[in-house]
Amino acid sequence: MTNEPVNVVDLFRRRTRSPMRPRSSDLIQVIFPSFRRVTPYSPALILGEAEQWGRNLFIIAQQKPKPENLRTKEDLAKLNHGMLTAEDHSHIVRFLKKAVQRAGQGEPVSIITFIDTYGADISMESARQFQAFFIATLIRDFLTIPLPTVSVIIGEGGSGGALAIQMTDRRAQFDDALYATAPPESLAAIIFRDPTKVREALLISKPTAKELQELGIIDQVLPSPKLVNDIQGYAKPLALFLERTIKDLAKRNIKALLRVRRSRAKAFGVYKLEPYKKSSRWTAFFRLTPLRRKAVPTPDLKTFNLTSSDIQAGVDWGEQTDPATNPEEYVKCGDMSLKAGGSEEGCGAVMKVSEFMANHYVCPSCGASRIMGAMGWINCLTDTDSFHEMSRDLTAHHLLHPSLLTPEYLNFLVKQDQRSPFHEALVTGEATIFGMPIALAVCEFYFAGGTMGVVFGEKFFRLTEYARSKNLPLVSLCCSGGARLLEGTPALMQMVKTVNCITRLKREGLPFVSVMGDPSTGGAIASYAALGDVILAEPSALVIFTGPRVMEARGFPVNEEDVRAAALCRTSRGIYDNLEFYSDIRGICEIAPRKDLKSAIYKYLEYYRRCTPASNRYWS
């Protein structure tokens, strides 16, 4: 490749997605003569061992199909080529445990991963097998594994499917490879509602190796050959990088490597802010302020006045002094959305807005619920007036790399500020539940769909540090649409940052209760939310890595009932019959209606407290 400016669309079509590009098996065959592939023989996953450079190498590789694998109609009809399934991820979890065991027997072990995938498998089968939970588990395992690790993006890195095996001690990428928050087709389907707008999606993603190196997501850019089918041309610089890196990491103390991993994860996405210092933890970093926001109906709620001759949508509640006390404003179950299109479940019951809000946006007649904002969830889960907010005014302007504050993103943020009383998609602070103090993180769905961005990750980090400093249990409420695509790959890295936060919390022995509201999707469910000591959910919560709309746009069949919390909780009961497959994943422990979630949280936290010796108890 030359040093001329890159046409990212041309790069994507002619090189990154070229069917003639070397696959993982081609490069492994050239670089590792002693490679021995182990079962399973999955089309998208290669696991194996090799002895080289004085180390026992455990190699994990994703692989897209070669042209000869796409000759039949059945092959062409397959939708998840090159995507790792939940079963594949289960095999990787066990393979990593095997590597740790071998190292424990005195063998010098290193781990190498090759990444070339559109993303994780988004089929219903993988969703039913807790695909998102496996991704979160693998991110955690790579952050904590006591072995030196190296990853290389050899072609395409997409979404959590790539991130699950990319967070290593050293990370490289070929200069004609791309790595993004989501495959461009999926990103286009989400942002533009048009999967054909690949060019626009790629320009937003900033997925090139040079851009990612500047953002700290990879460490080194590897040169690619002139011809895209030149296996030796790719293998030579890759082998040189791996040999040098494996030998260098072998000299380093594993505790030092672990510290660097944690430090790097902590800083992901934070470009402008001064590094966190323990000496400042009781100053502005952890400042708490009372929550002085009135409970107003969520945006898009269709209200009407019963005295009207023809029932019309009501006024904008955001302009009212105290709308919850207005006795003339009503909602109708089954006809509550101001947004056009789509049908709603409901029984037709008419009720006052104040009563609907007091019942946590659930119809008292039939139990149909609507998505609830952060204010509603805070009132639902905590004692009245007990919540004090942290990092209230922290915004993207304080943290993001200047290249990510595009005009499109700035306009988007302005619109979100008009929809929510909060300044970001995560609201954090301290509160009490039946008098018990907790640290609380709540997604604000009505700010950018509750999506994870750099500010989301930083606020979550600050909250967990506060919880550790005060020995508080952590409770989170997930109600998220995934990663903030307009922020590019730094938003994806917040999955790593939040997982790192949870591992730090658990080292202190503090409990973490994760609550899944409707919807719980994308990066949030595939990171911190899946790692709760106890995972609770409301029965109707959608719990899935990739949203149904994107699945349908990519041609995958969807059955939403299978990935609602009630169904997944029933599936979770069978985990204990297959512990080898699920490792320490336990799925959803309990479902409860919104009005009962507060009691359910308290039940588990009280159990933790009673089982903790008084000398080690985290609160009185």
518-527: pLDDT as tens digits: 999 989 999 9
- Residue 318 main-chain phi, psi, to 5 deg: -60, -20
Backbone φ and ψ of 566, nearest 5° = -60, -45
C-alpha 309/C-alpha 312 separation (Å) is 9
pLDDT at 322 over 60: no
The top-level CATH class assigned to 8-264 is: alpha beta
The whole-number average pLDDT for the span 158-163 is 90
Q: Whole-angstrom Cα distance, residue 73 to residue 78?
A: 9
Q: What percent of the chain shows pLDDT beyond 70?
A: 91
Across 235-254, average pLDDT: 98
Measure the CA–CA gap between 336 and 339, rounded to whole angstroms.
9
pLDDT reported for residue 396: 92
Strands (E), 243-353: 288-290, 304-305, 329-332, 350-352
- The span from the first CA to the last CA of the chain, in angstroms, equals 63
308: its two tokens:
């009207």
- The per-residue pLDDT for 316 is 40
Question: Could you tell me the pLDDT band of residue 206, with boundaries at 50, 70 and 90?
Answer: confident
Answer with the residue of higher pLDDT: 39 or 23: 23
Are residues 349 and 363 in contact, defined by beta-carbon separation less than 8 angstroms?
A: yes
Q: Which of 180-194, 249-263, 489-503, 538-552 has the weakest average pLDDT? A: 180-194
Same CATH fold, 379-538+597-611 and 8-264? Answer: yes
Amino acid letter at 398? H
Q: At 572, is the pLDDT very low, low, confident or very high (cuts 50, 70, 90)?
A: very high
Choose the most confident range, by mean pLDDT, from 76-85, 263-272, 421-430: 421-430
User: Out of 90-94, 221-225, 457-461, 482-486, which region has the weakest mean confidence (pLDDT)?
Assistant: 482-486
Write down the CATH number for the domain with range 379-538+597-611.
3.90.226.10
pLDDT of residue 273: 58
How confident is the model at residue 481, as a pLDDT?
84
**Taking 90 as the threshold, does the pLDDT of residue 612 lie above it?**
no
Q: How do residues 281-311 score in pLDDT, each as one tens digit?
A: 445 567 888 886 677 888 889 888 876 444 4
- pLDDT surpassing 60 at residue 326: no
pLDDT range class, residue 379, cuts 50, 70, 90: very high
**Does 559 have pLDDT greater than 50?**
yes
Domains of the chain, by residue range, sit at: 8-264, 304-358, 379-538+597-611
User: What pLDDT is stored for residue 203 in this prediction?
Assistant: 85
The pLDDT of residue 311: 43
Least reliable range by pLDDT among 76-85, 212-221, 255-264, 487-496: 76-85
| Collapsed DSSP state (helix, strand, coil) of residue 441 | strand
> Hey, is 358 helix, strand or coil?
helix
What's the rounded Cα separation, in Å, for the pair 348 and 205? 44
pLDDT of residue 342: 54
Give the span between the Cα atoms of 123 and 83, in whole angstroms: 10
Average pLDDT, the chain: 89
Separation of CA 376 from chain center: 23
Mean pLDDT calculated for residue range 318-334: 63
Q: What's the rounded Cα separation, in Å, for the pair 252 and 244? A: 13
d(CA 158, CA 472): 36
pLDDT beyond 70 at 136: yes
**Separation between Cα atoms, residue 510 and residue 508, nearest integer Å:** 6
pLDDT score recorded for residue 1: 47
Confidence at 476, pLDDT banded by 50, 70, 90: very high
320 pLDDT higher than 60: no
Asked if residue 271 has pLDDT above 80, the reply is no
The answer to whether residue 313 scores a pLDDT higher than 80 is: no
d(CA 197, CA 199): 6
What tokens does 316 get? 């904008």
Read off the tokens for 15. Answer: 């090189």
Higher pLDDT, 514 or 354: 514
- Of residues 408 and 105, more confidently modeled: 105
